[in-house]
Amino acid sequence: MPSPYRALFAAPGSKGFSAAGFLGRMPLSMMGIGVVTMISQLTGRYGLAGALSATIALAAAVLGPQISRLVDRHGQRRVLRPATLVSLTAAAGLLLTAYFGWPDWVLFVCAAGIGSVPSLGAMVRARWAALYRGTPQLHTAYSFESVVDEVCFIFGPIVSIGLSTAWFPEAGPLLAACFLAVGVFWLTSQRATEPAPHPREQHGGGSALRSRGLQVLVATFVATGSIFGAVDVVTVAFADERGHKGAASVVLALYAAGSCSAGVLFGLLRPSGAPGRRWLLGICAMAVSMIPLLLVGNLPFLAVALFVAGLSVAPTMITTMALVEEHVPRAHLTEGMTWVSTGLAVGVALGSSVAGWVIDAAGARSGYGVPAVAGAVAVAVGFLGYRRLSRPAPGRGGTVEQHSAREERHVA
């Protein structure tokens, strides 16, 4: 492992909470696709399977920020364990309902309950921020966590689908629930690195979304999420039209691999200048990288194009988390990070839905127009809101770059 990453894990407890966060994040990429595979195998009803997966995603988008707000106020241990128990109980109900063939409405109630799963990525990043706030190591930590996200999305669906098809239909969601239980209870047992809570009386009951900078980030990430959702759906349809549907998983894994590679390299750098400019450049790069997809004619070209497109994803995500840390008060940091994930999840649902409609109407190749349009919208929102991002929230500690500059002036 390169030296900046070795130095990152020199802090006591960092290896433990990072490993726990990795396990706890695996269900993010396993549960939805696992439910789709399970229901389609047991009932043959793909419409029901898709609706249940969408219910889980939308419930998580609604409940996630509220759970994270409680975490900021009361601490990770006090909130995450009860929320996870609710999610695990709902998951058990979903598996039993599917197995015994109980009414569909029970499936939807359980799917909504699974949405109470906490955002483990935000919890781990909050711990890194508590350790390294105001230092260059925080950039490396956010880079590492973005790589972990991509690894989860590369291997999670493969494991979930493989188990459900090769073993028994419920195996994928069952393993996802086990990962969640182990990850959350392992993470919350590590009290030494848990960020200090900020009770209501210290900062009032307002939401992190009152931050004008965070509003820009969330709005932009709705459009960015639409890119991801559309690319997934259209790529599966594109491969299916060419008689190689199974190759879609490999092609999409290359998309994630491109992002993962860029994240590793980006973490080795010490970026300079305003993070808002880097973020806007990343959004533009993501949008431009969608244009070659409109010209694809075969799967090898598509694989190369998506790998290149992935190179701009992780650096943009890493810079986004740095901007959240800059624009959101510390008492709302976990909630702020979760709002970004919520915007992304809403965008994924929108992008996949619109892409499906376009595919049915005009074919898979035309479907790549959806991520291209979503990229253009993301750029437009980014430019319109850029001035908000250039002004940090009052009372914040400053960016990594600003702290570094102060240290250098002090030494001089």
Q: What is the chain's length?
A: 412
What are the tens digits of pLDDT across the range 267-315? 887 777 778 888 999 999 999 999 999 998 888 999 999 999 999 998 9
Task: Please state which CATH number belongs to domain 12-194.
Answer: 1.20.1250.20
Question: What is the per-residue pLDDT for 151?
Answer: 84
Question: What is the per-residue pLDDT for 245?
Answer: 67
Report whether CATH 1.20.1250.20 matches the domain 208-412.
yes
Cβ–Cβ under 8 Å, residues 374 and 223: yes
Instruction: Measure the CA dihedral 31/32/36/39, to 10°.
Output: 50
Alpha-carbon gap, residue 99 to 101, rounded angstroms: 6
Question: What is the per-residue pLDDT for 127?
Answer: 94
What are the tens digits of pLDDT across the range 148-170? 887 887 788 778 878 888 899 89
Query: 12-194 and 208-412: same fold?
Result: yes
Tell me the domain boundaries of the chain.
Answer: 12-194, 208-412
Question: What is the per-residue pLDDT for 134?
Answer: 81
- Taking 70 as the pLDDT cut, the residues of the chain under it are 1-2, 46-47, 200-206, 209, 245-246, 390-412
CA-nearest of 182, 232, 165, 166 to 27 is 182
